[in-house]
Structures are given as structure tokens and as C-alpha cells.
Amino acid sequence: MGERIILHCDLNNFFASVSLLFNPTLVSLPVAVCGDRENRHGIILAKNETAKRFGVKTAETIYEAKKKCPELVTLPPLMEKYREYSKKAHCIYERYTDMIEPFGIDECWLDVTGSTLLFGSGEEIADRIRKDIKRELGITVSVGVSFNKTFAKLGSDMKKPDAVTVITRQNFREKVWPLPASVLLFAGRKTSEKLRSCGVYTVGDVANCSDSTLTRLLGKNGIELKRRAEGLDFSPVITPSAEDKPKSIGRSVTGAEDFTDAGMVWSTFLTLARSVSDSLRGHNLFASGVQVHIRTASLSVKEFSKTYREATNSGYIIAKRGIELLNQNYNFSEPLRSVGIRAIGLRESGAVQEDVFGNSEKQAAQEKIEDSVYLLRKKFGKSSITRASEKKQ
């Protein structure tokens, strides 16, 4: 088969753009989507172009942002709407190919190699997608077109909003090689520092660096990086299949010392459930049940589970349900060697029923706070926000 044609579609300022669809009178103002707006230490999750021009940055506090831009309008995140619009964009992509690999809520790779007879060149398909998204959803997308995933992704970042960038075998040295080496890295700062210390600043420098130097600096990853810089990224666009949706998501741990009371288990459950919760969010799933798994010091194993009226993706709520379940079923007659918590009864939406049951509102608020934290950690890496209670492990 000949050259592959890969698109990378990145919805521009996704959260801010979708939020503005539901607040149309604010479109011309500087606007940011923020977690915990009542608190001036609340954090900027996303901003529109106008706010960007004032220098407002993602992950800074509302207080810092307002120093630069006193008129900044803050909006709460609308997670349900973001999921809905992400799905709608996906449906548009599906008109052009069924080979689609999502990357986060607002990005997808598309392999359109087999679609050119029907729809034209890669650039033409990208342009159709750009127009469809704008006309039908009222938001914009930047599309990178190239012969591999790495360059397609770099392309989508070069011109925005509402633009198409084509990176070919002929022009990639000119377009991609001047970019800082860090754009190739998912790993981040430490690695780029190592590279800089050896005079490797740009993507071109990586491509021209000797194998031995890169291996010495970064091990096996060094060669992988160089291949990507040279345009030798052959990784396929992988469409997640329905079978990839998990039936349950669990985490367990053997303690450094035995657990002698529920207090010790609680902080561990929080950590484990946070990881379960990230995984649920990654799959767009909610858990309607919780299962607790324990192994005693004498190695006997017990399991308890319960289902609830309201499904949740909150780590805190899952941990809380877990500890209640443990307290109802186990009295620590013997210390525990290991504990685990599992989200079961997974489904695609949380059942947030109106105030009849009282708890829903609190639960929704908890889920929203965690949504914000989750989004930031996805963007800036695991360590950017860690709750004090998690630091123990």
C-alpha cells in the first residue's frame, strides 16, 4: 500500500467554545471556564481567544488571571455538554472514515487513506471536516494532515483556530524541524532539559543527533524519539472497539504494613478510588456499584459488594461507599494484608436525579470538582494537582 494519510483534529479552546454556545451574549468578552469559581484560588481550566489576548493562562488561579484581566467572566464547567459535543464531532469524523483514535475529549487521529477516492485528498477531507464542524456545531477545529500521527498532531497545533496545516515528506524539514524538541515528548520537562544540556534544542537537532548520544541520554526512548523526528513514525491509528470498554475497574494494594483499622484503609481507598475514577472518566463511564476486596493476615479472602441508585464517577464517593461497605461487613478481628476497591455495574451516564433524594446535588458538586481536577491533571500530568491525603502513598 502507498503513503498513509493521517489527520489530527483538535477542537479549538474546546471547553470555552462549548460553554459559550450556551452563553452567547458573552462571546465578545474575555471568558474562562473555572473550577470552584467562588474561591479566588479556583483554577482556570480553559479560556477563549479574547481572554488569551489578555495573557490569561490555563492552570493559573482566578486571582492571578483577574490581575491581568479584571473584566474576565468566569463560567462553571459543563462536563455533560463537553461529552455531548465530543460525541457530535466524532459523528462528523465518521462520515469520512471509520478509523478514528480519540486522544482526550477534544482530539482525534483519523486514518483517511482509504477515503480519498470518495472525498478527495487529505487536505480536502480536512477542509470538509473543518467546515462541517463550524457549520453544524458552531465551534471550530484545527486539522493537521500528514503521513504519520506525530506530524499530523504537530500540524494541528501550527495554525489555529479553524485552520488546516499540511505536512508532507517534502516540507517536514522546513516546517517541523525548527520546532523545540519538547513538542516530540510526552514525557516533559526533565527530558527536554537533558537534551538541551547536550545542545539538542529543536526537532531537527534530534533528527541529526547520533544514535549513541540519544541512547546514552534517554535509553531506548532516544531512538524512538529520533525516528519520530525523521518522519519514521509507523504507529497505526487504533480504533477502540466496544470490547475495549471495561466491565469493571478495580485497584488493590498490599500494605507496607498490615491494616489494623478502618482509618488506615480509608486513606488507601481514597488513593485507589482516585485512580479508578480517572479510568472511569477516561472511558466515559459511571459506576452504579462498588465491590470491596480484602485479604487477611492469614490470607483468607473476602468480598463485599453493593449497588446504588445513583451511579458516580467520583473517586471520593466510591471510596466512601467502599469504607461503609467494609465497616458494615468486617470488624478487624484480624488485620488485613491487602485491600482493593472495584467499580462495578458500569454504565454510560450518571443517574443524577433531581432533589427527591437530597444527595444528588451534593454528589453532582463533588463530581464537578473532581472533573476539574481530572481535566487539569490530564493536561499537565499526574503530579500537577495532588490532594494532601494522597501524598501518603
Chain residues binding Mg ion by CB under 5 A are: 10-11, 14, 106
Give min distance, CB of 234 to Mg ion, in A.
Answer: 25
Q: Is 145 left (phi over 0), alpha (psi -120 to 50) or beta?
A: beta
The residue with its CB nearest to Mg ion is 106
107 in active site: yes
AA letter at 379: K
- Structural contact between residues 316 and 367, judged by C-beta atoms closer than 8 angstroms: no
Check 80, 94, 101, 107 and give the catalytic one. 107
- Structural contact between residues 314 and 288, judged by C-beta atoms closer than 8 angstroms: no
Give min distance, CB of 333 to Mg ion, in A.
Answer: 53
134 vs 116: CA distance, rounded Å? 22
Specify the residue, 63 or 380, whose C-beta has the smaller distance to Mg ion.
Answer: 380
Give min distance, CB of 247 to Mg ion, in A.
Answer: 31
Only one residue has cell 463533588, namely 366
Q: How far is CA 232 from CA 102, 154, 225, in A?
A: 21, 14, 10
Specify the residue, 179 or 344, whose C-beta has the smaller distance to Mg ion.
Answer: 179
E strand or H helix that includes residue 17? helix 14-21
33 vs 47: CA distance, rounded Å? 6
Give min distance, CB of 13 to Mg ion, in A.
Answer: 7
- Structural contact between residues 290 and 306, judged by C-beta atoms closer than 8 angstroms: yes
Specify the residue, 164 or 276, whose C-beta has the smaller distance to Mg ion.
Answer: 164
Specify the residue, 18 or 346, whose C-beta has the smaller distance to Mg ion.
Answer: 18
Angle between helices 79-93 and 122-137 (to 10 degrees): 140
Angle between helices 189-197 and 211-218 (to 10 degrees): 140
Give min distance, CB of 306 to Mg ion, in A.
Answer: 39
Specify the residue, 16 or 218, whose C-beta has the smaller distance to Mg ion.
Answer: 16
Evaluate the CA torsion angle 273, 278, 279, 284 in order and state its sign. Answer: positive
Query: And the C-alpha cell for 296?
Result: 487477611
Give catalytic residue positions. 107
